[in-house]
Copies of this chain bind each other. A is one copy, B any other.
Amino acid sequence: MPQLIAVDWGTSSLRGARLDDVGRVLEEKSAPLGILNVANGDFACVFASLFSDWMKPAGTVCLISGMAGSRQGWAEAPYVACPAGPDELRRRLHWIEPGRIALVPGLSDEQGEVPDVMRGEEVQIFGAVRLGGLAEGLFVLPGTHSKWATVQGGRVTGFRTCMTGEFYGLLSRHSILARTLEADAVLDDAVFLRGVERAGNGRGLLHNAFGVRALALFGRLSPAESASYLSGLLIGEEIHLQELPQGREVIAIGASTLTARYALALRHRGARVRTFGAEATWTGAKALLG
């Protein structure tokens, strides 16, 4: 087996890992050099500055997932339509240097004439599938644009994006709610779960979000509590609209601060939850090589 370098190159940052021949992480690095911060589109230069040492051993292969494979990235690796698994991605790798550096394509899904897309999360999913010995399940990857994906037979059969993280940023920093909300406050679990509960009232986010303002006006939520409550409203809205598998676990992949918050809300709704972190990315890259 060749030595593998796995890179998750996103919009605002990138992370990379050097793996040994059985997939163990030997070394990791990260940099605030997301695709929007690459000067003059010189991706080759940024890549070399970060990874040329790791690429030296003969036969080393680097797989790059995430937005680096988008139209605004290093080169476009066209989306692969669902259902798709590691085999489909491997066949559609976009080689920057044949046999040496490749971009992993993202996935697309079509629902009622509206497409959906992901880039990077598919590798994390296949990593969690391998790490967890899972052939199927419901996966959530929380973030600016959260992804909810269903896996069957080790392949992603469909997924949906929710702009939950981005809505939190907009509402907590740029809306009228910002006047009485401390966006970076430490999470208050009980207040967060009140928001999760409220989201299930069937009145919709457009209405429930205004409740944060009204509760603050009436002195019933402090600025710190308002942040937890709004987070609960948004994550609750997202979760209430999913069909949670009865008696089966939901797989949450991502930074532990986020997956912990989702796990809290999901368990409150009676779901079992299993979480994975960065190891899912590295194992997913390894899974693509076979």
**Residues of A near any B CB (own CB < 8 A):** 112, 114-117, 145, 160-164, 166-167, 170-171, 174-176, 198, 201-211, 214-215, 217-218, 220, 234, 237-238, 241
Contact = CB atoms under 8 A, between A and B. Distances in A.
Nearest to A179: B72
A115 B218 contact: yes
Given A117-B217, A217-B117, A238-B204, A210 B112 contact: no
Given A161-B214, A174-B174, 16 more contacts: A114-B198, A114-B214, A115-B215, A115-B218, A115-B220, A116-B211, A145-B176, A163-B207, A163-B210, A166-B175, A170-B174, A204-B205, A204-B238, A206-B238, A206-B241, A207-B241
A116 to B, nearest CB: 6
A156 to B, nearest CB: 16
A163 B206 contact: yes
Contact of A211 (B114, B176, B206): B114
Contacts of A174: 170, 174
A160 B210 CA distance: 9
A167 B237 contact: no
Contacts of A114: 198, 208, 211, 214-215
Nearest to A72: B179
Nearest to A221: B114
Nearest to A210: B161
A127 B28 CA distance: 67
Number of copies: 2
What 5 A-B pairs have minimum CB-CB distances, sorted nearest first?
A162-B206, A114-B211, A161-B210, A204-B241, A170-B170
Contacts of A115: 211, 214-215, 217-218, 220
A271 B211 CA distance: 27
A116 B218 CA distance: 10
B218 A206 contact: no
A72 to B, nearest CB: 10
Contacts of A112: 198, 201
A84 B243 CA distance: 41
A176 B144 CA distance: 10
Nearest to A241: B204
A91 B21 CA distance: 81
Contacts of A176: 145, 163, 166
A135 to B, nearest CB: 26
Nearest to A199: B204
A112 B241 CA distance: 21
A207 B161 CA distance: 6
A115 B214 CA distance: 6
12 contacts: A114-B211, A117-B214, A160-B203, A162-B204, A164-B206, A166-B176, A167-B209, A170-B170, A170-B174, A204-B205, A205-B205, A205-B237
